[in-house]
Structures are given as C-alpha cells and as structure tokens.
Amino acid sequence: MGYHWDWGVFFRTVPSGGATYLDWFLQGIEWTLIVSACSWALALVVGSVLGVLRTVPNRLLSGFATLYVEIFRNIPLLVQLFIWYFVIPELLPVGLGTAIKQSPPLMQQFLASWLCLGLFTAARVCEQVRAGIGSLARGQRNAGLAMGLTLPQTYRYVLLPMAFRIILPPMTSETLNIIKNSSVVSTIGLVELSRQAQQLVDYTAQPYEAFIAVSAAYIAINAVVMMVMRTVERRARVPGFIVAGK
Amino acid sequence: MGYDFDWSSIPGALPFLWHGAVITLEITAIAILVGIAWGTLLAIMRLSPNRALSWFAASYVNLFRSLPLLMVILWFFLIVPAVLRNLFGGAISDIRLASAFVAFALFEAAYYSEIIRAGIQSISSGQISASLALGLSYGQSMRLVILPQAFRNMVPLLLTQAIILFQDTSLVYVIGLSDFFGTAYRVGDRDGRIVELLLFAGAVYFVICYGASWLVRLLQSRITIVR
C-alpha cells in the first residue's frame, strides 16, 4: 500500500495556533480520565447504596433497587446518553431546563456524560455489592444482629467491610469498563480520547498514526489501572477467601 | 411539566424503524455466529499446548478487550474499505455495513472466547486424559467429549453476552449506519421530535432486552446440570 507514514505530524502546530497535535492528544487523554474518574466516584456511591438496598429485608427498598438495575441494564448506553443529553433538559421544570440549555456546551456535555456513565455503572456496581454481601455466610448478619447491633450497624461494621474486600477483582473490571465506556460520550461532542482520534484524522489526514496513538493510549491506561488495582487487591485480600463472584 | 408530548411522528416512521431494526438484527446475528465460531477456535488455541498458538490467542483477546468497542468500529471503518477496494476494485455498495459486520464479529469473538475458555476449563481435566487414553485425537476429544458438555454449561452466559451485544450494536451510530437507534434519532431530528423518538427507542430496547434476559433465566433453571 502506498501509505505515507509520518509520525512527526504530532509535533506540528494546529491551525488555530498555540498548540501542537500532541497537546490535543494529551487533552483527549485528560478528558477521558476526568470523565471516567468523576463517573466512577458517582457510580461507587450510588451503586453501594443500591447494592445494600437490594439485600435489606424490606420489599419496597429492594424492589426499588431491582427496578433501577433492570432499567439501567436493559437500555443501551448510547440511548441513555442521548436521553440525558437531549431529553432530560426538556422534561425538567422550564426554568431549570432553560438554565441547563443556556450553560456553556462543554458544561452540558460533561453533565450529561457524568450522570449517564455514573448512573449506568452504578447499576453494575450494585450487582457486585449485592453479590459480595450474598457471598458472606448468612450467620454473619444474624450474629451481628444477635450481638445487639442495629441493622445499619451490622452493615457498617460486619457485612460491608468484608463484602468490599471480596468484590475488589470484579470492581477492577468495572473500572476498566468505565474507561472504555467513556468513549461513548464522544457522540455528544465531548472531545475525549476517541473523539480526538477522529479530529486528528480530519485535521492531519494521517489516519493510521492518529488511530495507533489513541489505541496505544487506551491500552496503556488499561495496563496502569490493572497494575494499580492488582496491588490494591493483593493488599486487601481476605485470607481464606480465594475469589468472589464474576 | 413544560413539555408537550407529540407522538404522532412515530406511526408514520414505523417502516423506516423496522428497516433499521433489520440492520440491528443482522449485525447482532452475524456477530453471534462468527463470534462464537471464531471465539471457540481462539479458546482452543489459547488452551492448546502449542506456545505460539496460545500466545497468539491471548494477545488477540487482550488487545480487543483493552480497546473500547467504539474505537474498534472506527478502526474497521478505516481499514475494511481500503482492503475491500484492493480486493474488488471499488465497486462495493455499502462499505459501512460490511465494516460493521467485521468489527462486531472480531470484537465479540474476543469476549466469547473468554466465556468459552472458562466453560472448557470447568470440565475436569481427567476427561481429556480419559479420551486421549481411549485413543481419540486431541481434536476428536475436544469435539466429541469436552465441547458438548462445556457448551451446555455456557449457554446462559453466551446468551447474556448476546443481549449485551444487541445493545452495543447501537454504537454503529458513529459510522453513520442507520440501525434501529440511528433511524429513530434521524426521524426525531427530522420532525423536531427527538424527545419522543429517543424515549420510544429506549422503551423498545428495554422491552426486548428485559424479555430476553427473563427467558435466559428461565432457560438457565431448566438446563443447569445438577452435580
């Protein structure tokens, strides 16, 4: 094939000046990490609460958590993102909706991406937390209650500390998933890594360099996260428990 | 609420939406069939005693699993047309559909191969020793002894993966292919009724995926081998 390789393209200045294509590429990495980290924080909080709710002896609360999981798991991420971005501002009370629509585009894109990815992943975290709590012997809950702890105390001091340590390995894959899923937010115009790949192609006409660089960046981010999480997993492993859930 | 719903553009758009749904189903079907076939091969290679084969399969699976599906779709949209042009010399009608087929099939194979590998490993290794001792070749013992049992255990997981894959096909939006979701979005955009069309699309996906996962659970309770 007569393709003209030119890796030097990354050091050229972009048409608007003041930055090189390498800076664009690094900004893409930055946005991917920002969106992923913020969404992961939201997912962890909401998912843990929902996971606990799924296991409490209260039909209404566990029913609500189940409904949440079913809704967020059975609608494609892309559709959810478009609903957060295009539909929710229309359905909010007029004042609030208008305020959102008049905020800077980047703000709107980030808000939709954050809520979408965070609440989507929360459903998956919820299932992991539930599995973690479910994998503990039933006696642990009973023992906690028999010792005179209240139900919230039993969760706080007995069940959750064990459950979170047990579910660390599947949580590692959820962390990797949220980074990969963050590429979907490029569809509403947030210029993260995968959008940057397309933009670099449009501006430089060097598709292979742009795509190889961006793919390598994803692989590198993956590898770093995996390494960090392996260390955390080793430190936090509960002696005597081998693996948890899937 | 400040929004006036107007669902009237949906009935007229149903033929378009159906056409989009067919594309969604085609991509899903091809990805499942090719994905499972190629995934099985990859799993066998990965578990084979041949170092080179197992290294190849491991790299393939790890590579595809560390890239976002969206990037893979864009990659094949970039590569496939060039390859096809080299092979057939330009006269291909819908390159986007072809590249989506290839992207999904190769991507899903990586995920299927992990499920299948776990399924094969769940069969006790004594069985393969036993079939080798009986004089079957490695290929024969895989095909006649191990895989039939492994697949039975794997069916629910394979189907669950198919449901995820069905949802993921909506990502062909990024290469401008009009699948079910892409069509819904375009109709909504055309009629200024994006709210209704997106909610409708979400509801359709929900009903199909929820129904399908309910069926998988039912099936799972039927076919699980009690040990």
Put simply, whether A176 touches B (Cβ < 8 Å) is yes
End-to-end CA distance of chain B: 56
Residue type, A117: L
CB contact under 8 A, B68 and A218: yes
Q: What pLDDT, on a 0 to 100 scale, did the predictor assign at position A65?
A: 96
**ipTM exceeding 0.85?**
yes
Q: What pLDDT, on a 0 to 100 scale, did the predictor assign at position B138?
A: 86
Q: Which of B7, B28, B71 to substitute to test the interface with A, most A CBs within 10 Å?
A: B71
Q: pTM here?
A: 0.90
Distance CA B142, CA B126 (A): 13
CB contact under 8 A, A211 and B69: no
Nearest-by-CA chain B residue for A212: B75
CB contact under 8 A, A79 and B202: yes
Distance CA B201, CA B192 (A): 15
Distance CA B202, CA A143 (A): 44
Question: What residues does each domain of chain A span?
Answer: 20-236
Give the homologous superfamily in CATH for domain A20-236. MetI-like (1.10.3720.10)
Structure tokens at A14: 């972009």
B4 contacts on A by Cβ (under 8 Å): none
The pLDDT tens digits of the residues spanning A25-70 come to 999 999 999 999 999 999 999 999 999 999 999 999 999 999 999 9
Among A73, A90, A93, whose Cβ lies nearest the Cβ of B195?
A: A90
The pLDDT tens digits of the residues spanning A140-185 come to 999 999 999 999 999 999 999 999 999 999 999 999 999 999 999 9
Confidence of residue A246 (pLDDT cuts 50, 70, 90): very low
Our CA-based measurement puts residue A74 at a distance from the nearest CA of chain B, in whole angstroms, of: 5
Q: What pLDDT, on a 0 to 100 scale, did the predictor assign at position A161?
A: 92
A219 contacts on B by Cβ (under 8 Å): 63, 66-67
* Domains in chain B: ranges and CATH: 11-223 (1.10.3720.10)
Of B47-51, B88-92, B133-137, B209-213, minimum mean pLDDT range: B88-92
CB contact under 8 A, B2 and A97: yes
Q: What pLDDT, on a 0 to 100 scale, did the predictor assign at position A16?
A: 83
B167 contacts on A by Cβ (under 8 Å): 74-77
Q: Which of B4, B27, B62, B70 to substitute to test the interface with A, most A CBs within 10 Å?
A: B70
A91 contacts on B by Cβ (under 8 Å): 1, 3, 195
Confidence of residue A19 (pLDDT cuts 50, 70, 90): confident
Tell me how many helices (H) and strands (E) chain A has.
12, 0
pLDDT top residue among B215 and B153 = B215
Would you call B15 helix, strand, or coil by DSSP? helix
Please give the mean pLDDT across all residues of chain A.
Answer: 91
Put simply, whether A181 touches B (Cβ < 8 Å) is yes
The pLDDT tens digits of the residues spanning B121-143 come to 888 888 888 999 999 998 899 89
**DSSP symbols for A105-122:** HHHHHHHHHHHHHHHHHH
- Kindly state the average pLDDT of the residues A215-232: 94
A70 contacts on B by Cβ (under 8 Å): 210
Count of CB pairs separated by less than 8 Å, A with B: 103
CB contact under 8 A, A180 and B199: no
